[in-house]
Amino acid sequence: MELTLNSPLDMHLHLRDGEMLKNIAKFSAQEFAGALVMPNLVPPITNIESLLSYKKRILDAANDNDFKPYMTLFFKSDYTADFLEKAKPHIAAIKLYPNGVTTNSEGGVEQIDTKKLALIFEAMSELDIPLCVHGETNGFVMDREKEFGVIYEQLATSFPKLTIIMEHITTQASTELLERYENLYATITLHHLLITLDDVVGGLLNPHLFCKPIAKRYEDREALLKLALNANKKVMFGSDSAPHTIDKKECCGCAAGVFSAPIALSALAELFEKHNKLTNLQAFVSNNAKNMYKLTPSKKKITLEKKEWIVPSSYDDVVPMFANQTLKWKVKSKI
């Protein structure tokens, strides 16, 4: 049994920089036609010069694979309409991080005041630049995303022409927001479709499944599955694959992030087949993203076959999701 995916896209990807970039970019470049690359480096990508330089490093690390990095800027409250107009040809979106809520988000927005930031959001609306948001407050860890819902509602109603992507949603409350506001969209990760908080801390602590936003309850996972498996047009795949070396994960002060890039398509095929929704995978991993972002990626084809394989224990000192476990689908060819 085989499955061919046309122009698969990962619309939320962390590629890091330096040696880490060189080691892990190839996994996404081999199996995806393109990916929306997050800008939270140290220092973050906040200007066109650093963005173009980073894009070149990504392409170099992609090893001649047919792969397009869709670049993003790290949202700053002092961006001007003139700057945004100059940046538009080089970016697919701008990513907003509340200050300090996740990895390398220092320097993010202290307070998302729709009135004070109105000129930026209005300029983005007119230029048709999507706003991607890490939607969490600094409240209790299980409530952070739900609390942020009020801000999503303010943004959606105050700027109805602004395309807003709720990144890596994890709650039933977030899925309900999608139905209420025409200009709200969302990415969903592989790990949030598969795990709950039980898998992270319910037994022995599993640091390689610790991420932000943290996995939630069973009813939250079911709400996400309903959207993804039925290929709801307002959601798309974004892995949020976030590599950290073993010493940064298996330690006190464990870094947040799940590394799923090498196994994402295989695990998604298995999940969708399990629920008899394999025909909907194409829309979830490509078509919906192309429509939302108005993308024309390459006509790369990835063929998977129903063949068991064992996921390696690590890739260049980074432990992947499903390490040492057997997956039922494997990438056979990339054209």
CA 7 to chain centre: 17
Phi, psi of 104 (to 5 degrees): 55, 40
Domains of the chain: 10-264 (3.20.20.140)
**Residue 188, pLDDT above cutoff 90:** yes
Contact 302, 265 (CB under 8 A): yes
pLDDT tens for residues 119-172?
999 999 999 999 999 999 999 999 999 999 999 999 999 999 999 999 999 999
Residues 85-122 have pLDDT tens digits of 999 999 999 999 999 999 999 999 988 999 999 999 99
Q: Is 240 a catalytic residue?
A: yes
Please give the residue that has the higher pLDDT: either 333 or 175: 175
| CA distances for 175 relative to 109, 142, 145, 185, 289, angstroms | 24, 16, 11, 9, 17
Tell me the β-bridge partners of 2: 305
- Say how far apart CA 230 and CA 221 lie, in whole Å: 14
CA torsion 23-27-28-33 (nearest 10°) is 130
Whole-number Å distance between alpha carbons of 324 and 287: 32
**Strands laid side by side in the 9-13 sheet:** 9-13, 34-37, 68-70
Asked whether the beta carbons of 265 and 9 are under 8 A apart, the reply is no
Q: Which of 82, 143, 240, 247 is labelled catalytic?
A: 240
Other C-beta atoms closer than 10 Å to the C-beta of 275 total 12
For 49-69, how does the pLDDT look when each residue is reduced to its tens digit (9 = 90+)? 999 999 999 999 999 999 999
Taking the whole predicted model, whether its pTM rises above 0.85 is answered as yes
* pLDDT above 90: residue 335: no
The letter for the amino acid at 331 is V
